[in-house]
Amino acid sequence: MSQRYHVIHETLYRYAAPVTVAQHLLHLTPRDWPGFQTLEHFRLEITPEPAALASRKDWFGNLSTRVDLRQPHEMLRIIAASTVGVAPRPPAWREAGGPPWEEVAAALAQFPAAAPLDAQEFALASSQVPLLEELRLWALASFTPRRPLLAATRHLMGRIHAEFEFDPQASTVSTPVAETFSRRRGVCQDFAHLMLSALCSLGLSARYMSGYILTHPAPGKPRLIGADASHAWVSVWCPGLGWVGFDPTNDLQPDLEHVVLGWGRDFGDVSPVRGVLLGGASHEVEVQVTMMPAAQRGFDALLAEVRDRPLEETPPARPAA
């Protein structure tokens, strides 16, 4: 049975000095993914009002929005609100199937191509997903000879969950994979990059998935508005099945409780908000996410609650886990 969610992603920048001109690139529109996810409604609210706003699809098919700000401002508030329908993933994705992993790696390495072009593309290194011999050797404990691809990938996911500690203080958005591997700690972005690096170092194809995961309040406690967070996981290319998801932070395969914003080679391809600006000096940034089953609250009522909340009452974000 499919599920429907309202998702509100709020980003607030406070600057120490006025910003006179700024350009930002946003990846805040959830993807339409035929058969798996449907974007039913999307609204973007930006304060101060942009001088220009333009959207287009990037190389990977994600919808990106360019924002031009040309009036002095000491605060920038971006609210992206969506209603998304999520369909169940195929049962075959959760089975320990697929061809032997070595055959998949060999198909990706052939020239002329024996695998789709996008699969070959995601087998290459990127700025945040290097090919590392130490990770290849470590991953071979899961990728034993002739083991089916999905069984091996699921085993690798479980090892990351068991051997690495979730620690929001351990890293930043630019922490290298080698440091995450050596320190054995990090957050969802780090674990996604680590898993991608391990898979690509074996010659396999995998992509970085950016989005959200439904969190569950403690029994008897209300769902807090703005207390969720964005999330990251990976998907691996499997012949005959397509792109199969794996969430190493939670040791599970995404199904009805994951919403996809976009995908790319690494975080840098799908960073929710990035930009360049003139002025501002130092700044502080706050990000709050609310993901709620649509049956629990109307879209307009939920958006109004977020929009009209005094900013000093904005709750601290909870790291995705």
Tens of pLDDT, residue by residue over 130-169, are 999 999 999 999 999 999 999 999 999 999 999 999 998 9
Categorize the per-residue pLDDT at 113 as very low, low, confident or very high, splitting at 50, 70 and 90. confident
Tens of pLDDT, residue by residue over 302-320, are 999 988 877 764 444 444 5
- pTM of the predicted model, to two decimals? 0.93
Q: Please state the domain extents for the chain.
A: 3-87+270-313, 91-269
pLDDT > 70: what percent of the chain? 95
Strands (E), 178-282: 185-186, 206-213, 230-238, 242-246, 258-264, 273-279
CB atoms within 10 A of CB 287: 17
Categorize the per-residue pLDDT at 112 as very low, low, confident or very high, splitting at 50, 70 and 90. confident
- How many Å apart are CA 185 and CA 175, to the nearest integer? 11
Write down the CATH number for the domain with range 3-87+270-313: 2.60.40.2250
Tokens for 113, please give them.
Answer: 């191509």
Determine the average pLDDT of the residues in 118-129.
Answer: 95
**193 in Cβ contact with 129 (< 8 Å):** yes
Q: For tokens 């508005």, what's the residue?
A: 225
**91-269 is classed CATH 2.60.40.180:** no
